[in-house]
Amino acid sequence: MQLDALAEMLHHWVARVRHPAQFWPQFEVLAEEILDQCGHTEKEQVRVLMQTMLSGHGLELPPGFKE
């Protein structure tokens, strides 16, 4: 799973999911897969990009992703 694919999926998820509790587990699994593929120095940049994607939909990264 690449970051650009996650960005494309985000719009559809937000439109279809009726409650945030349904959205976050799916997002977190895919986001963790992406972060696991990153080197240590890339992780912060990827988190910033994820937050930017989410901000466009009025969402914020869960606290664990900001570390």
The pLDDT value recorded for residue 30 is 87
Predicted pLDDT at 65: 67
Residues of the chain with pLDDT under 50: none
Cα→Cα distances 65→10, 18, 35, 48, Å: 17, 23, 9, 10
CB 34 within 8 Å of CB 43: no
Take residue 56 and report the two structure tokens written for it: 């466009």
pLDDT for 55 equals 93
pTM score, two decimals?
0.80
Backbone angles phi, psi at 56, to 5 degrees: -65, -15
